[in-house]
Amino acid sequence: MNRLLSLLFALVGTALLVGIAAAISYGNAAAVWLCSIGSVAFIGYGFALKAKLRRKRQETPTE
């Protein structure tokens, strides 16, 4: 995964976690659930994409 894509995933993942904290402080249960589900899905997608790119890079022979 290149640096820009890694930075994007880190920033968006962090923003979702901050959203969870803000929703908790405002007492908005629906927003807590929404941000929690979005955070888990987004971070999970980032890990899956990283593994896919790693497998693709290992399969490609380098000369």
Cβ burial, residue 35 (10 Å; 0-12/13-18/19+): buried
Local structure of 61: helix, strand or coil:
coil
Question: In the prediction, which pLDDT does 49 show?
Answer: 95
At residue 54, what are phi and psi to the nearest 5 degrees?
Answer: -65, -45
Q: Are 37 and 7 in contact, with CB atoms under 8 Å apart?
A: no
Q: Which amino acid is at 13?
A: G
Q: Could you tell me the pTM of the whole model?
A: 0.81
Over residues 53-60, mean pLDDT: 88
At residue 2, what are phi and psi to the nearest 5 degrees?
Answer: -75, 170
Reported as a single tens digit per residue, the pLDDT across 17-53 is: 999 999 999 999 999 999 999 999 999 999 999 999 9
Question: In the prediction, which pLDDT does 63 show?
Answer: 59
Question: In the prediction, which pLDDT does 47 show?
Answer: 93
Q: Are 38 and 15 in contact, with CB atoms under 8 Å apart?
A: no
Over residues 4-15, mean pLDDT: 94
